[in-house]
Chain A
C-alpha cells in the first residue's frame, strides 16, 4: 500500500509540476506520465487489498 501511495503521489507530483507552466512538453508529461502513474497507484492499491483479503481467507 505504501508503494501505491508513492506511485500515486509521484503521478500527482508530475501533474503539479506541469500545472505551473503549460507547454506541449509539460502537457504530454502530465497526460502520458502523471495520469498513468496515478492509475498504476490505484491498481497497486487494489492488488494489495486483494492480497491481504486472500491472506485472511476472505476471498
Chain B
C-alpha cells in the first residue's frame, strides 16, 4: 500500500512541477502565482521526497531486499536450513520474527540510533557490492550483541524459565556472557551446501 501511495504522490508532484514549468511566466506576475510556484517547485517536491526516502528505508528493511545481492544468497537459504539449533532458521521457520523483515530484525540494534547505524552499514555493503571487493568470508563488524536477542527474549517465559539459562541469567543480562556462546550456529551454511532444507507444507 505504501509504495503505491508514494508512486501516486511522486506522479502528482511531477505533474505539478511540469505544469508550473509551462506557467512560470504567467504565474510570476501575480502574488498568489508566485506562492504557487514556491509551493509547487520547492515545498511539494521536498515533501514528496521525504515520503519517498521514508518508503525507501522501509523497503530496504525487507528480507527480499537484503537477499537481492548474490553475496547474501547462502545466508538467505540458511533461513530454510533443516536444523532446529540454527538461529536464523529457527527464528524464520517458527515465525519468531516477521518473515518480511527477518534480516533486519536480528541485524539492527534497538538503541536510539540503531536503525540509522544499520542503514549506514547497509550503505557500506552496497558500496562494497558495486565498487569494492567482497571478502571471501562474510563476517559481522563486531561480535553479535546479546542485547539484540534480549530485545525480544528478555522477559519471555520460555527464555527465563529454561533450566540452562537459570544460573547465567545475570551474566546474560549484563552482557558478560554471550547468547552465541551456547547458541553458536547462526546461519547453517553447511546444511545449505548439503541441501538439507526445510520445506513449508
By a beta-carbon cutoff of 8 Å, the part of chain A in contact with chain B is 1-2, 4-6, 8-9, 11-13, 15-16, 18-20, 22-25, 27-28, 30-31, 34-35, 38-39, 41-42, 45-46, 49, 52
Contact = CB atoms under 8 A, between A and B. Distances in A.
Contact of A41 (B10, B42, B56, B126): B42
25 contacts: A1-B37, A4-B41, A5-B21, A6-B21, A8-B42, A9-B14, A9-B18, A12-B49, A15-B52, A16-B14, A19-B52, A20-B7, A22-B62, A22-B65, A24-B122, A24-B125, A24-B126, A24-B129, A27-B60, A30-B52, A30-B56, A34-B52, A38-B45, A45-B42, A49-B38
Nearest to B7: A19
A46 B41 CA distance: 10
Given A1-B24, A16-B14, A22 B42 contact: no
B49 A15 contact: yes
Given A12-B10, A19-B7, A42-B45, 16 more contacts: A1-B41, A4-B41, A5-B21, A5-B41, A8-B41, A8-B42, A9-B17, A19-B55, A19-B56, A22-B3, A22-B65, A24-B69, A34-B52, A38-B46, A41-B42, A49-B38
Nearest to B42: A42
B59 to A, nearest CB: 4
Contact of B7 (A16, A27, A35): A16
A27 B144 CA distance: 26
A52 B25 CA distance: 13
Contacts of B52: 15, 18-19, 30, 34-35
Contacts of A23: 65, 68
B113 interface: no
B48 interface: yes
B17 A22 contact: no
B6 A41 contact: no
Interface in B91-137: 122-123, 125-126, 129-130
Interface in B116-170: 122-123, 125-126, 129-130
A16 B3 CA distance: 10
B21 A2 contact: yes
A11 B20 contact: no
B110 to A, nearest CB: 22
Contact of B49 (A20, A25, A34): A34
